[in-house]
Amino acid sequence: MSSIPSISPSSQFRKLLLSNQLEFICEAHNGLSAKIVQEAGFLGIWASGLSISAQFGVRDNNEASWTQVLENLEFMSDATTIPILLDGDTGYGNFNNMQRLVRKLEQRKIAAVCIEDKLFPKTNSFIKGNAQPMADMQEFCGKIKAGKDAQSDQDFSIIARVEAFICGWGLAEALRRAEAYHQAGADGILIHSALSVPDEILAFKQEWGNRCPIVIVPTKYYATPTDVFRQHGISMVIWANHMLRTAVAAMQKTARTLKEDEQLLSIEDKVAPVSEIFRLQNAAELQVAEDRYLPKGAEGTAAIVLAASRGKELGELTELQPKTMVKIQGIPILSHIVDAYNAVGIKDIVVVRGYKKETVNLPNLTYVDNDDFEDTGELDSLLKGLQFLKGPAKDTIISYGDVLFNKYIPQSLCQETADCVIFVDSNWQEQSSYARLGGFTECSIPNSRRAFNAKIFLKQLGDNLPKESIHGVWMGFLKVSPVAATLIIEVIAELLAKPGNCKAGIPQLLQELVKRNHPIRVLYTAGHWLDINSLEDVVQAGNF
């Protein structure tokens, strides 16, 4: 988790253990369940051996290796800030293994470990406990001492678990062992019982007094009112396996229903929404990080394709469909445009359609309609597109629905970080159809070797520039940043409000921006595009 707790997990745990009220910790068995336990308000987690082995699908007999348990604990620790008490079984070996365990737990910020006085490989206390052999008491004391000597964090705790009742011994044996473990340095005693009543642990506590904190696991004597534990001065209750058992019951129910019903409707409302899973995984944090650290590639760019007009000059070809749907090499112009955008990763494509709009229907595009297309012009369509994108929040490339281009064009636009960028073809004298775009440009530097890598800006744009100042022709591409888009929306609204201006085009917008001293970066190219403006162009486009 991102928030850094002010006190370490080990000292948090020590505080809980030594507090003068009854405290509760709850089982978890992986990162997700650990986070859920913390979110519920628990101040500590029991990393249960039973639950961790069960979620791996193996028995609670040390079948999962101790390093597998350790790796699982690392996920739990990473997902939480509250202390984790590991159910360390028998310490996974002798005193030497115990020492290595303690060091490894400290490295993973695990607050405490509980070890039980049985033999490796252990068996769960509720499986024929009576038949289970106990560890030699002195050997177990050595293990506790070794663990305490190995810890480098003074707050790390070792809880000694007395299995005397589980293994069929009496109160005297339980007390004898507990006292020995206490003398060996244990920070608390977990006294376990498999009875359905709390008699054994209450009798033990009565004799034990307040020598050191007592921890209990009331799984089998679950009907005992919690106040009884409180009144007897128990320090800590462990709800030892209830996250796992809840998950198992829920999974079994869902699996059975799905198998039977062969549909999702009956379970959808009974399972956590996917958004809740994302929240638990902290997906939002990654999104913020991606914005901060990933290069802004084309995936973060949108495109608006202006395709509302008919393209009358193509005659019959545009009688039943707009120019953007005229086929070149067997597929519509719009498809070629989408392919070029897709080729550099731009998927968010808005097409502004008008004339015969129902025929503009390629999949995976967003359509915005300009139903006034006959009485309005490009700027009106562009405004609709920009407003649809709500701002827009991404860099956006604006282009025409009748201009074919190579992926080099959007790729270069995406790499350019300026707020406003246009493409200018310096080979304008070879472009037959430059006149339609009406966009001769004069730039700060003509296209030459000197222009390579230089920052070039648009100086003026229009139909009637003196020939000697023409550096190229505007190709119909404009990339705007979110900041520039906001400005452009305002400028367009002002332009359209002027009388006689309702059919204004993008060249007027660019002129207005230059007039207002808004820098417009220029990228030069020679070729890589084709403006479909006549039947001759359609034929020529076959070779593009």
Contact partner at residue 508 from Mg ion, ligand SPV, none, CB < 5 to 8 Å by partner kind = none
Residue range at the interface with ligand SPV (CB under 6 A); choices 48-56, 69-77, 228-236, 306-314: 48-56
Q: Which residue has the tokens 């051996």?
A: 49
| Residue of 54, 146, 217, 488 interacting with ligand SPV (CB under 6 A) | 217
60: annotated active-site residue? yes
> C-beta of 129: minimal distance to ligand SPV in Å?
9
Contact partner at residue 399 from Mg ion, ligand SPV, none, CB < 5 to 8 Å by partner kind = none
123 vs 508, beta carbon nearer ligand SPV: 123
DSSP state of 91: -
Q: Does 27 bind Mg ion (CB under 5 A)?
A: no
> C-beta of 40: minimal distance to Mg ion in Å?
22
Q: Does 439 bind ligand SPV (CB under 6 A)?
A: no
Show contacts with ligand SPV in window 126-185 (CB under 6 A).
Answer: none
Report which residue's Cβ sits closest to Mg ion.
Answer: 49
> C-beta of 127: minimal distance to ligand SPV in Å?
9
> C-beta of 242: minimal distance to ligand SPV in Å?
10
Picking from 96, 143, 92, the residue whose alpha carbon sits closest to that of residue 122 is 92
243 vs 350, beta carbon nearer ligand SPV: 243
| Residue of 23, 27, 87, 155 interacting with Mg ion (CB under 5 A) | 87
| Residue of 12, 62, 125, 301 interacting with ligand SPV (CB under 6 A) | 125
Both tokens assigned to 132 = 């289970």
Q: Return the number of other C-beta atoms located less than 10 Å from residue 138's C-beta.
A: 10
Q: Does 31 bind Mg ion (CB under 5 A)?
A: no
Q: Does 49 bind ligand SPV (CB under 6 A)?
A: yes
Q: Does 240 bind ligand SPV (CB under 6 A)?
A: yes
Show contacts with ligand SPV in window 62-101 (CB under 6 A).
Answer: 87
Phi, psi (rounded to 5 degrees) for 35: -65, -40
Residue range at the interface with Mg ion (CB under 5 A); choices 21-29, 66-74, 86-94, 264-272: 86-94
Strands (E), 281-417: 301-307, 327-328, 331-332, 348-353, 366-369, 395-400, 403-405
Site residue total, Mg ion (CB under 5 A)? 2
β-sheet bridge partners, residue 458: 443
50 vs 247, beta carbon nearer ligand SPV: 50
Contact partner at residue 241 from Mg ion, ligand SPV, none, CB < 5 to 8 Å by partner kind = ligand SPV
Q: Does 431 bind ligand SPV (CB under 6 A)?
A: no
| Residue of 9, 31, 44, 49 interacting with Mg ion (CB under 5 A) | 49
> C-beta of 87: minimal distance to Mg ion in Å?
4
Cβ-Cβ contacts under 8 Å for 375 (sequence gap 6 or more): 502, 503
Between CA 397 and CA 301 the distance in angstroms is 7
Ramachandran assignment for 345, one of left (phi > 0), alpha (psi -120 to 50 degrees), beta (any other): left
Show contacts with ligand SPV in window 485-544 (CB under 6 A).
Answer: none
Between CA 50 and CA 86 the distance in angstroms is 11
Contact partner at residue 90 from ligand SPV, Mg ion, none, CB < 5 to 8 Å by partner kind = none
> C-beta of 221: minimal distance to Mg ion in Å?
17
Between CA 101 and CA 98 the distance in angstroms is 5
| Alpha carbon of residue 486 to chain centroid | 29
Contact partner at residue 441 from Mg ion, ligand SPV, none, CB < 5 to 8 Å by partner kind = none
> C-beta of 123: minimal distance to ligand SPV in Å?
9
Both tokens assigned to 18 = 């030594």
User: DSSP of 253-298, one letter per residue?
Assistant: HHHHHHHHH-SSHHHHTTS--HHHHHHHHTHHHHHHHHHHHS---G
Show contacts with ligand SPV in window 363-402 (CB under 6 A).
Answer: none
Picking from 218, 411, 435, 149, the residue whose alpha carbon sits closest to that of residue 423 is 411
Q: Does 219 bind ligand SPV (CB under 6 A)?
A: yes
Site residue total, ligand SPV (CB under 6 A)? 10
Residue range at the interface with ligand SPV (CB under 6 A); choices 45-53, 77-85, 393-401, 437-445: 45-53
Q: Are residues 104 and 58 in contact, defined by beta-carbon separation less than 8 angstroms?
A: no
For the chain, how long is the longest CA-to-CA vector? 110
Q: Does 200 bind ligand SPV (CB under 6 A)?
A: no
Q: Does 112 bind ligand SPV (CB under 6 A)?
A: no
Burial of 41 (0-12, 13-18, 19+ CB in 10 A): exposed
Q: Are residues 500 and 492 in contact, defined by beta-carbon separation less than 8 angstroms?
A: no
Q: What angle (nearest 5°) sits at the alpha carbon of residue 457, between those of residues 435 and 514?
A: 70
Q: What is the sign, positive or negative, of the torsion defined by CA atoms of 224, 226, 229, 235?
A: positive
Q: Which residue has the tokens 């400028």?
A: 491
Q: Which residues bind ligand SPV (CB under 6 A)?
A: 48-50, 87, 124-125, 217, 219, 240-241
Question: Which residues participate in catalysis according to the annotation?
Answer: 60
The contact set with Mg ion (CB under 5 A) reads 49, 87
